[in-house]
Structure formats: structure tokens, C-alpha cells
Chain A
């Protein structure tokens, strides 16, 4: 092998550099987030494991159903009906975006753009109509 002296140390430096995030955190994934679950409501539109994996797909399906296909059939959860939608369904139980959505999204370093337009319960309450 030619240039053994530079290639092997080079590779070593590369591997150390690439795996930096792993060993810097002591090979642990940090504390797993615990989102605040709604009190008194045990059911969701789908089992928790499915919601954990696919809530973003479900939201997209709801979006297309409501806006595009005029399919505004309500969803039933625990005997109560909700209108399909982030504000009209999800946030009715998960009333705290900061303590529910953000816990995992911050941990996973994803920045969904939902809240650019959709109102979190806290934001909606900030400019509530006063009678």
C-alpha cells in the first residue's frame, strides 16, 4: 500500500470525526422525552403506537380530505365527535403544544411548519375576544 502513513491516520481521524455525536454523548441517546398526555382522556383517533409513528401522515390525510375532497366527516374518539383538523380535533385534548408536540419535536430536531398558520391554544387565547 502506498502512502500508508497518511491514509491510515487520515481514515482514523475521519471515523472519529463522523462518530463524534455518538461518543460525545457517552453513547446514550439522552433522556427520552415524556410528552404531557391529556388528563382524563385515554383514547386517541388511533392507538398510541400508531399515532407516534404516523400522526404526520394522518394530519396530511385530514388536510386533503377536508380541503380538497370535501370529506368533513367527524372523527369519533371516546364517544365524542371532533371535526378533522389540528385545531378542531388534536388540540382539543392535547391542549398544550409546548408540553406535548414540542417535547418530541425538539428532541428529534424536527421543525414542522404547522404553527406558522395554525393557532396553538396558548396563542389563540392570547387574543381572545372579550365580551
Chain B
């Protein structure tokens, strides 16, 4: 009887030691992978942005072209509004629903604001829309996963069905690209597009990079209008042969609020 108890205690002790020691062993063996990662970080320049992999849809907005043709931006906005059943609230900033809209340079690039800027930056309204960030803060803030990054193309999509209207995403977005439906938008929609839904009261909405049009092989509605003038270029940022990459390679572009670390997919030529 005594020997049996002694044996039992020995086995129990050994098992307890093994249990405590196991996580330490796992940590030791995995440290090699961690070390190689650290080396990679050291080689990149400070603040350099790593590109996401796969198809990443993006846009270049050439403000020089928009400044030349002031009516072009209005047409692009109107095309978007029509396709997506966006309501229009005249002189009512609180209820305004914005997918693509106009804003002055000082509001679009506040960190680049200077006293002696070009005539265009002083006068022309800038086209602004959701930046479809690689690292979107709105997605992190959403408690219901109603907004998410589509892994197939990098679009920051929204599932209006799931939105509970908490507006955390609106607070999180550094670009003000999201709008809230404070009231039923339907009475304020001019014409209905029968192929797209409207929204209801209490739902947040934003630009979807025309996901429904891309599926049909069409370009986004705003791009379709502005493309011929060369004011907007749309395409895969990760495809080195795409038109958008050729423009990006040639022209110097800037992005909205890069310090936010959201890695926007919309580039501006100013």
C-alpha cells in the first residue's frame, strides 16, 4: 500500500512539472520565427508602408483635370447619387449623405495647408470619397462586423443589413467618409435605381467602390464619367502593368492623412 502511494505521488509530481514546463518549451522553440521577423522590420525605412497582397482596388484623382473642367466633378457626383439611390437634402448639412462629395483643399489636406498655395488649391473643390484603406479604422470600430475589408479586392464593404447605427465607424474614420441616416431617406431621393436598394433610418452608409457595377464588368460610376478627361483612374494597385500603376509610377501623388496609418487606396495628383 505504501509503495503504491509513493509511486502515485511521483507520477503526479512529474506530470505537474511537465504541464508547467510545456508553454516555456513552446516559447523557446518558436523564438526563431520571431527573430527573423524582427530582422525584416529593421531593413525597411522608418515609416515605410508595406503593401497588402492580392488585388487591391484603388483610385487616382487628378485634380488638375477637375480644376480645368469644373462641371466634371458635379457630373461624377450626380452619377454616383443616381446609381446608389442617395438622398439629397438641400441646405441641410446634418442630414447630408455623402459617397463622393466636394471639399476645399484645406479640409482635404489639413496637414499640408499653407499660406501660399497654388490657385487650384485655393479655388477648386476637391473630390473626396471613402479611401478604402488597407488598414481601416472603421472596420476595427464596428461592433457587428457590418463593415469589413473584402479580401478579394481590398474594398471596404458594408453590409447595411447588419448595421445597428452605433456610428462608431463615423467617429473612427479620419476622412469623414461615412454618413448617417437620421431619417428615412426615401422622400429625398429624386429617382430610384430599381437595381439597388435604398437605406433606412438609423443606418450608416458610404462609398462601396461600386462593387455591384464591378461585378458586371463596369467601372465605378464616378470613374465612368471622369475617365475620358483623365481625371480619375481606377484599377488594381498591386498589378504592376495596370493603368493606375503606370500613372502612379509617373506622377507624384499624395494621400489624405497618411499619419493616421490607415493606408488609403485613393491617391491625389495636385
Contact = CB atoms under 8 A, between A and B. Distances in A.
B153 A70 contact: yes
Given A70-B150, A70-B152, A70-B153, A117 B198 contact: yes
Interface stretch (A37-45, A98-106, A122-130): A122-130
A127 B200 contact: no
A87 B194 contact: yes
Contacts of B160: 117
A64 to B, nearest CB: 8
Contacts of B200: 113, 116-117
Contacts of A125: 194
B189 interface: yes
Contacts of A70: 150, 152-153, 211
Interface of A: 63, 67-68, 70, 72, 83, 87-88, 113, 116-119, 121, 123-129
Contact of A118 (B191, B197, B203): B197
Interface residues of B, number: 25
B189 A127 contact: yes
B161 interface: yes
Contacts of B161: 63, 67
List the 8 shortest-distance A-B pairs measured between CB atoms, nearest first.
A124-B194, A116-B200, A72-B215, A70-B152, A117-B197, A129-B191, A127-B192, A118-B197
A64 B135 CA distance: 22
Interface of B: prevailing SS: loop
B192 A124 contact: yes
B68 interface: no
Nearest to A64: B159
A83 B189 CA distance: 24
B197 A127 contact: no
B220 to A, nearest CB: 16
Given A68-B148, A70-B152, A87-B197, A126 B192 contact: yes
Contacts of A124: 192, 194
Contact of A128 (B148, B150, B192, B196): B192
B159 A88 contact: no
Contact of A68 (B159, B199, B215): B159
A123 B153 contact: no
Contact of A119 (B82, B158, B198): B198
Contacts of B195: 87-88
Interface in B187-227: 189-192, 194-200, 203, 211, 215
A72 B211 CA distance: 10
B140 to A, nearest CB: 17
